[in-house]
Amino acid sequence: MAPRQCTPVLSQLPKTSVQDLQRLHSRVERRRRKPQNKRPPEYYQNLIKEHDKVKAVIQNDYSDATKDNVSIIRGKFIRFCNDQLGTNWRIVIQDCSRGTVLGFLRHIYDNDRVNKRGAMQQYLAQFGMLFNQENGHLLDSNDRKEALKYLDTFGLDNTVKSKPVLGVDDLLLLLHFHWARDTSTFPTERHRVQFAFILLLLSGTGCRPAELVDATKKRKEGARLGDKDHEAVDDNILAADKSDDNFGTGRNKDVDGRDENNLTGISEGGVEKDARRFNALCYEDVRLLIVRSPNSGERDVLAMEVTLAHHKGHKKRPKPTVFFFTEVDEPICCPITHLISLALADNAFEAPSLSTPQRVFEHKTKLKTPIFRRDEQTALTYHQLRDSLIRLGRAAGLKETLTSYCFRRGTANVVDSTATEAVRDQVMRHNAKSAVFNGAYINERVRFDVQSAVLERPSADGVLRMLTHMSLMRDPRAPVHVPDDVLAAFPPDHHITALEQQREQLKVGIYRIQGRDVEAEVRQLTAAIGSARSRWRKIISEEYRADYFRRRPTEDIERQNGGQEEESYVEPVIQHQIPERMQLAELMCTHITKISAQDAIHRRIQAAELMQALCDCQEVAPRYQLQPRLPPRTMFKEESPEVGPLAPVIPLVCGKSQCIFCIGDESKSYEQRNYVIVIYETTFSTSSHMSSQYFL
């Protein structure tokens, strides 16, 4: 093929705006050398004396989750010392003997809901951190070994949960179900698009969920920690440290005469700090590239570069990893198509002409915007991602619980079978030669046909690959919710009944408790009752679903041996409310074997356009829908009138039982906007609907 003809163009530098000059100035100032501090010899002498003391301890900079765990174990130890020993907990922990450790473990076992040995081991490890924090040295190793042996006398459950591994067939199953069969609703349809993008990134990078979404925990309030004395002591120590920071030498100043305590990075005026607002994947972490194809004569290739920096331990040992993605012919498996649709919906491209997928770099004001969000200003949290994964796995009929680590284990096992150990550790963000993969991520189902190797016959790799994935026991007939009659057959829970009786005794028949002396205690009991009911329903649901998977094979075998007709599963007909989703599901779930490169590009462009349009839509929850009534059948055959399709008509005048906000919401479908007219029967219900949906 003839070489490309390039037209010579005069090289011109781009125009520099005021904002560009400010950013350039900020980057230059950040690279300025650190100022030197001139300290007198007395400073270092006092520093040595201070840290040579026996009780001088530099506190560990734990994460927020670790601080919460230490606070919880501190509260348990305080209650143990107050109720059982009658002594201040700080005196006890400073002279903590082996018997004290064993007695504290027995106290936790007797008073807490602990059934697993691993939970008690975790409590012991947290107590070791508390001991180290208070005494400045580790708990005696012999005492720790004796405590572990003492745990064996409790008779705790030592079984290990299964660690399912998700393969490519499982991924295609979940994506197909997500686009075509899922009947659940999201706050907006943008959540549906970004959830599919998350599934592709989880399987394509093997990352933890905290590298994509915001996984920061909400810190517990100080009143809930149960250690006000400890907080007061910490405040006094902190104040003493601040007042004696320079050990009697006065406030130090650097060579320029500036106060060192006022130096936070660069103290130049007008310097912009490049700080992240969200601990999640943002647009600045993703870069789209156009790469010239290595095969001459072919079109340029669109690639995507994703930098994952929020890995485990990134605050102490930052080790960002860069992953590359290329175009995939199938739009359902192409992460670049999903990213382009989300970026176009967010107006994240800086070039104004990039408004459609046919004209595809990020806008500077959108660089720090999270890609996966709850709304315009808040990043998607880990709990929302976890709940969506669990819901999708249950609705798809998987036996095991679907979590983000199913994707991570699947990616790790695939990379381990094809790449070197160094590449595998890099993908998983593991330290070199740490053997973490062999201990925690390797597939518990052996991925090798040992029987065929022993018998020296050809291995059944296809069957073995199917047997090692989590979709082996998939059953779409599995119940998602427990029937009401099954819930009614269960006897009332004694713990919940006791809490309700205690609340009724406090209320003494009074309905309104606001402003009364028992208000705080009644509200606390109400919250405890709600948590207990949710926990009880969750246990019943899990056991009912597990019992179905245990009983179903036996019932099918008995039905087949008894000569009964085999029950055939008929997939329910799914009718989506939004037309764009119907078109997108048909496009995504249609597999074409022989397709040209130009047709594949056209399919991806069409999918991106539909996803971009879908991001602006909103689906109504099923409880607000009203199924249309079918007209009664007539005994006579009627001829169809020869008229064209009529355009949907929205009434201009609203009645008293009609919601003006719903009827004017263009993000909803035509059927949803018209159904609102007949849903509300009275003016009171219409007002209640408006108050709950639009005025809160």
CA 304 to chain centre: 22
Residue 302: its H or E element: strand 301-308
Count CB neighbours of 620 within 10 A. Answer: 19
Residue with tokens 């994935």: 469
Q: Report the residue count for the chain.
A: 696
d(CA 286, CA 371): 9
**Of 108-117, 264-273, 469-478, which gets the smallest average pLDDT?**
264-273
268 has a pLDDT exceeding 60? no
pLDDT mean over 555-581: 82
d(CA 588, CA 179): 8
12-16, 282-286, 446-450: which is most confident: 282-286
d(CA 460, CA 126): 47
Q: In angstroms, how far is the first alpha carbon of the chain from the final one?
A: 66
Burial (CB count within 10 angstroms: exposed 0-12, middle 13-18, buried 19+), residue 341 = buried
pLDDT tens digits for range 335-387? 999 999 998 888 887 766 666 666 554 556 677 888 999 888 889 999 999 99
pLDDT tens digits for range 505-562? 888 877 788 888 888 888 999 999 999 999 999 999 999 999 999 998 888 888 888 8
Phi, psi of 157 (to 5 degrees): -75, 125
**Of 177-186, 260-269, 365-374, 441-450, which gets the smallest average pLDDT?**
260-269
pLDDT score of 251: 40
pLDDT mean over 204-219: 86
The pLDDT > 70 percentage for the chain reads 76
pLDDT score of 224: 42
Q: Which residue has the higher pLDDT, 562 or 692?
A: 562
pLDDT score of 386: 93
pLDDT score of 590: 85
pLDDT tens digits for range 52-72? 877 677 777 777 778 888 999
Residue 323 pLDDT grade (very low, low, confident, very high; cuts 50, 70, 90): very high
**Of 187-191, 238-242, 479-483, which gets the smallest average pLDDT?**
238-242
**Of 33-37, 93-97, 150-154, which gets the smallest average pLDDT?**
33-37
pLDDT score of 244: 42
Compute the C-alpha angle 278/280/281, nearest 5°: 120
197 has a pLDDT exceeding 80? yes
> Which pTM was predicted?
0.74
Strands 321-326 and 286-291: unpaired
**Of 347-356, 423-432, 610-619, which gets the smallest average pLDDT?**
347-356
Is residue 253 within 8 A of residue 260, CB to CB? The reply is yes
